[in-house]
Each structure stands twice: as C-alpha cells, then as structure tokens.
A and B are shown apart, each in its own frame.
Chain A
C-alpha cells in the first residue's frame, strides 16, 4: 500500500471494485451510468449537482472526476464555483438549522 491514503491513479482503478463482488459491482455501475444519462435533467445539470455533492462529501476522486466532467460539458469556472457555494450553503444551513434543536432544549430546561 502507498504511503498516502489517496492516490490520483486509484481513480482509474474504480472499475476494479467489480473484481471482488462482480454482481453487486456491475449493478452499481449500471445504476451509476443510468443516473447520469440525459433525462428530465440534462447531463450538464447532473454534472454540476455531482460537483457540488463531491465537495460536500469531500471526496477527492469525485472532485477530480466532476471538475473534468463539468469542463467537458462546457461549464464555466463561475458556474462551478456557484454550484459549490450551493453545497456549502446547504452544509452550513444544515448545521445552523440544528440550532433550533439547541434552542428548544434550552427553552425546555431553563426556568
């Protein structure tokens, strides 16, 4: 094993996950491929969603793959950064909205 947990070259090996569980691996890749086809959303819109989620999931492989995928689909830098802000806003909003739980609890416990 390499001296670091993440190696960019491992992204190319993603398909190898089918080797140790062929049926499940193939089902996953069939599903994955289908999800990103043009549908009610364009492949370009899906790529931008994937880019934002890649950041909220903080997955280096996904960021690598969907930055390139977005470029291939003609997405501009500004659009990519706005998409990431959407992810960041949901992440921070999701943290902050839990503040209401804290407030409920404080209100219940305090006299």
Chain B
C-alpha cells in the first residue's frame, strides 16, 4: 500500500472527502442523462416510493471516525488521522435515549469504536439499560494494536457483547490487499483469542459473526455458500470458528467511490447494481428499522447517509431533540448509493435482507 493510501481522503484533501462532491457524482452522469434510472424512479416503478420507516428496532451509534486501519473500501473514510470522536457528554445523551428507546438492538460502530476513550465506560452503562442485542463492530486488529486493547475479548464476554467483525476473505492475500499489510495475521490472532473465551463456538451464546465484502468492483456471491466456504477454510486452516457470515455489498461512496472512479469501474459497477435491483430487498433494507447517530449527535437513516451528510428528513435531526414518534413519521432520504442495499439478495449491516 502506498503512503498516500495510508491516509484518509480528508487528510489527502481529496475532492471526495466532500459529501456534496460525492452526491454530485451520484446524481450526475449516467443518472442525469437518463442512461440509468435514478433510485427514486426505480422504486416508483415498483410502487415503493417514498420509502417510509417501519418499527424502530436498531439504534446504530457511530462513536467516531478514528481507526487503526485505512481500508481501501471504507465508506466512513476512517483512519488514524480522523479526529471526530463522540464526547462523553454526547454519550450521556445517547444513554438517555437507550434507556427509553423501543429499539431492541444497540449497534456500536466507527471507525474503530474501541478507540473512543470512553468506550469501556459507555458499554458498561449501556449494558445496564438492558438492551436485548448489543453489537460492537470490531475490526479485530484493534485487539492486537495496543496492550490496552488485549483484554477486549474478556471485556466483551463480561457484557455479553455480540461481536461483528470484518473479514473480507479466508486468504491472507485478498484480506491484506483490501485492509492493509499484516491485517490478516492480526485478525487471525484476534479471532483465536475470541474463540478461546468462547466467542463463535458452536452452541455458545457469545455471538461472533463475520462480515464479508467483495474485494473490488463486483457484488457479493450467495451468502449461504460463502459462509460454508469461509467456515470450512477457517476451521481447516486456522482452527477458527464463528457463527454467521454477513455478505455486504460495497456502496459507491467515499473511498470505494474513489477506487471505482480511479480504476474506471464506476459506470460498470452502477450498471451491475441497477441490473441486480430487487424490489423484494427494498422491503427489508436497514433504513426500515434503524436510526444512525453520528459522533456529534446528528440523526440519519443509515450509516451511509451519515457519511453523505444526508440528515433525516424530520423536525428532529439531533439527539438533543430526540423523539421516536416524531422521527418515525418521516420519508427516508435516498440517492443512487441506495442501489447498493437493494442489489441481488439485498445488503445491510446484518448481511442479506431476503432469503
């Protein structure tokens, strides 16, 4: 990986660090000249416009964009040079929301959420709120990045945290190419540590799921088949076990959009997404049941909209005014990146959305 690639788009002052520039690209070109239908037009054809949320089930909180990795496909543009971190004051407001929410799942993400200096305190307090499924999206290597993180597997176990980790492939070459040199070996060590405390073992209530996303300008294959391949390879090669594999489509925003344009794959990729449009997936996309909260307390329909600066279309746009019944009465904000969640079997933070 070149030195430049070890920095976020923000640090490099790349034009795509600006969400408005990304939206210009997504709304222009082949979508502006009518070569491909806009997402709004497509869902109108299948009588699904406007998208409206159903019952809120998942609160996804982004604890900050700082990360120890600079993955090529990252939709957050996360990295060590990102300084946006949720403050304890904002976390306390989130805790109030968690105590009173109708959602059953709390989903902590980042960056590397563990790098937030108040992560431990926040998990302790949030777990007391009695949320049913408590997810932390861990990049695995953070567990090996610094001595202070070595005990995270035990910590996760203590609070029965559901660990969801990225693992783009069961081979070193493909993983390191996407996520950085040495990531594969560190991830394997971290997974062994998680297995050692009981995570991912058959029948264990300590849930360990892996996230697969393609290593380039193509869509993920069948999730069930990929899971079978992953499980057999991880067990045979490393004696590692896990529960589920979530196959996630890369959305054409941020660093992945930068890659698509630089590699001249953008138009072909958008064609693939549009051709794979599945109206059944629209019914179950994650914005149906999720609210995404940014490090500075703003509210979004999903993590991707957060990165594009597309706040919820509601009177309530910040946790300071949080009101679930007002929030739930809104239209979901869409653009052409939404095709990423409706392609094929669909895609969400929980993997495919149709069976």
Q: What residues of chain A have their CB less than 8 Å away from a CB belonging to chain B? A: 12, 38, 42-44, 68, 71-74, 76
B214 touching A76, Cβ below 8 Å: no
Question: With an 8 A cutoff between CB atoms, is B221 at the interface?
Answer: yes
**What are 10 A-B residue pairs whose CB atoms fall within 8 Å in the complex?**
A12-B275, A43-B221, A44-B221, A72-B221, A73-B226, A74-B221, A74-B226, A76-B171, A76-B173, A76-B174
B230 contact set on A, CB distance < 8 A: 74
A74 touching B169, Cβ below 8 Å: yes
Question: With an 8 A cutoff between CB atoms, is B218 at the interface?
Answer: yes
The answer for the CA separation of A44 and B218 in the assembled complex, in Å, is 15
B226 contact set on A, CB distance < 8 A: 73-74
Across the two chains, which residue of chain A brings its CB closest to B344? A72
Q: How many residues of B contact A (CB 8 A)?
A: 19
Question: With an 8 A cutoff between CB atoms, is B215 at the interface?
Answer: yes
Question: With an 8 A cutoff between CB atoms, is B153 at the interface?
Answer: no
A42 contact set on B, CB distance < 8 A: 225
Q: Give the shortest distance, in Å, between B171 (CB) and chain A (any CB).
A: 6
A43 touching B220, Cβ below 8 Å: no
The 10 closest A-B pairs by CB, nearest first: A73-B221, A72-B221, A71-B218, A68-B218, A72-B218, A74-B229, A74-B226, A72-B219, A76-B171, A74-B221
Question: With an 8 A cutoff between CB atoms, is B216 at the interface?
Answer: yes
The answer for the CA separation of A74 and B213 in the assembled complex, in Å, is 10
Q: Give the shortest distance, in Å, between A43 (CB) and chain B (any CB).
A: 6
Of A42, A72, A76, which is in contact with the most chain B CB atoms at under 10 Å from its CB? Answer: A72
Please pick, from B214, B222, B229, B275, the residue contacting A71 in the complex, using a CB distance under 8 A: B214
Question: With an 8 A cutoff between CB atoms, is B271 at the interface?
Answer: yes
B225 touching A73, Cβ below 8 Å: yes
